[in-house]
Amino acid sequence: MGYNINIVSDIFNKASELFDGNEKKVSKWMNTSNTNFGGSSPLSACKPYDGAVKVEEYLDRKLQEKKNIQTNTK
């Protein structure tokens, strides 16, 4: 089974937002093993649809945390 291009595109967009548009950081994060995904890289975790959903949910949480921090520092 391959990647769902729509959800992977959303994941890349959210990762870009999380890393303030820094493509090098996004690429490194997407391709580095991560304990949150059982030691798989986020990109590898995206191959089954349910894995992609987990990566997207993780990014949603991280983006919310980032927004909360920014709100609390203003």
Residues across the chain: 74
- Read off the tokens for 29: 């994060």
Give the integer Cα–Cα distance in Å for 45 and 39: 9
Range of the domain at 58: 5-72
d(CA 16, CA 8): 12
Q: How far apart are the first and last CA of the chain?
A: 45
pTM for the model stands at 0.90
Query: Domain tally for the chain?
Result: 1
Separation CA 49–CA 63 (nearest Å): 21
What pLDDT does 56 receive? 97
Mean pLDDT, consecutive 10-residue segments, the chain of 74 residues? 87 98 98 97 94 97 94 78
